[in-house]
Amino acid sequence: MARPRKDSKLPSARERMEQAFWDLLRKHPYAEISMKEITRRAGVNHNTFYYHYTGMDELAEDALAHAIPQDLVSAVLHGVTGSDEALARLADDSALSERVEHLCLAASEHSSPRMRAMVRDSIRDAWFAILNIDEQAMSVNSRLSVEVALGIFMSLFSYRADRSEDIALPELLRTQSASMLRGMLPNMVMSALAADGALPERTQN
């Protein structure tokens, strides 16, 4: 199959394979997705697949890296832990909607352990960057509080992925239970980090 010209507006073979991956992940667990089905949906042959990837795991990691850049993770994180205004901005940004869905799919049981770890690491890295956290100053207590919060974030994203036709992520975050968590988690984590001196002084004041 001929490759699109560099100035072509058509998706490249790599982009089509990544989109095929997300389309299939909506319907099937990661373990059931085959290279054959990816190439069929993307309209490419096996040689093209192996030109870009060594296997399904590399495709999944590549698709995830492109689907959830740091600015998306930061926007979602602000929506989860921030004010109602931050949540409203997340809800109103149509450009983020498909990528938010990919983030939720990657955090769900439909994906692989490696993908879930990548999502978790991305959220942790974004949170630490936003707050300018000094990891060297963190004790077991503050590390545990962060891991508890990350586990709850992952559960919310996974719940959304399993019920994608029923509720959007911003709507889920506005439910009474999620609203309580949005208020409680940042306070718990910030208190633990402040006690360790892991936050800049301006953040603690």
Domains and CATH numbers, the chain: 13-64 (1.10.10.60), 68-204 (no CATH)
Q: Is the pLDDT of residue 151 over 90?
A: yes
Query: Residue 171 belongs to what H/E stretch?
Result: helix 169-173
pLDDT value of position 1 = 46
Determine if the pTM surpasses 0.85.
Answer: no
Pairwise CA distance, residues 80 & 100, whole Å: 12
- Model pLDDT for residues 97-130, shown as the tens digit of each residue: 788 888 899 999 989 999 999 999 988 888 888 8
Q: Which residues contact 193 (CB under 8 A, 6 or more apart)?
A: 131, 133, 138, 142, 145, 146, 199
> Taking residues 197-203, what's their average pLDDT?
76
Measured from the Cβ of residue 127, the count of other Cβ atoms closer than 10 Å reads 21
